Amino acid sequence: MKNIFLKFIAFGAVALLLYGCKKDLAMVTTNGGKGGTLTASPSTLVLQKASLNDTTKVINFTFTKGNYGFSTVITNTLQIDTVGDNWVNPTSVTMAAGVYTQGYSTSDFNTLVLKLGLKGGAAGQLQVRVMYSTSVNLPSVYSNVVNVTVTPFYLTSWLYVVGSFQGYSLTAPDSLISATGNGIYVGVINFPASLSQFLILPAKSFSTKYATTTPTTVTSTTVKYGGANNLVGPTTAGQTIITFNLNTLTISFAAANYYSVIGSATAGGSDVNLKYVNDGVTGWAGTVPMTAGTFKIRQNHDVTYSWGDITPPDGKDATDVNGTSINVAAAGNYKVTFGIPLTATGVVPAKTATYTLVKQ
């Protein structure tokens, strides 16, 4: 009887051991990830300036769920890009949990596609997809790619500026921009001397011009269409914000904060000034010869405000708070842009901005 009892115990122990092993061997399997299906409505869209203030959604992107073959949290990101960019710099929108549609109003979508590089008044091609990703160490998967044809419109309008600062050249004028078409034009002009003379032109011709009746010995504050005298800049030379109000025919000037590139990558570690591009998009830009090394972007040749790469570096966002120096891997000529809101001297600049660094 004792032997039978011991054999029963031994058999039970083995059974429990085998049961435990079976539980340990249970595994979660994945199908590698499968994306859902994306649709766009409509797929061809001509945006209308008259609908600028209408909040109605003029285009909607709808998609189905992705899955990895097991229960896990999946993050859905809508990506929109131009056809030729090959998903290098898409506009990305991370969707809230349980949301499977994203719509845009005329204003929002027009702004988005212009930033992507489509031209106002011309049909352009976009590609749209959804990226599905999970916190589990598995690669992202994607939906089908939807092609969308969009014709955006420009809100902005420009006036040309010529003067002694560029030899009154009609082939290479500078400009002032009205970002919303409200008749107020703004831009930065680098006046090489005090009381520099200039003209504002609606077209690349001297037959029509905004000038003044003010003597050319004092700074102009009033403008007259077809005036006999050149406009006159501020009494102090340098980077100057010009604000021309076409509604009141008045003009004002303010010294601009300006920006330069400096670091071990620049020649002799000296400042290389960037020029403000009056297009409402680029910001400050310049082509800078560099060696392998690092640099930062600083304001008014002073260390009070300087911008380096956000940590960890991502190659586009800059900050003046704990920013690391921006790395230049190899010598060459680099196009540098620095997107920061335009400010006059004495105004504290934004702490964060964007930059690009592209070897030419």
Tens of pLDDT, residue by residue over 11-29, are 444 444 444 444 454 566 7
Quick one: what percent of the chain has pLDDT higher than 70?
Answer: 92
Top mean-pLDDT range of 75-79, 117-121, 135-139, 321-325: 75-79
Give me the chain's average pLDDT, please: 89
Task: Give 44 or 153, the one with higher predicted confidence.
Answer: 44
User: What's the average model confidence in pLDDT over 350-358?
Assistant: 91
- Distance from C-alpha of 224 to C-alpha of 251, rounded to nearest angstrom: 11
Global pTM?
0.59
89, two tokens: 């710099």
Amino acid identity, position 207: S
Q: Are strands 326-328 and 293-299 parallel, antiparallel or unpaired?
A: antiparallel
DSSP annotation string for 242-277: EEEETTTTEEEEEEBP-EEEESTTSGGG--EE-EEE
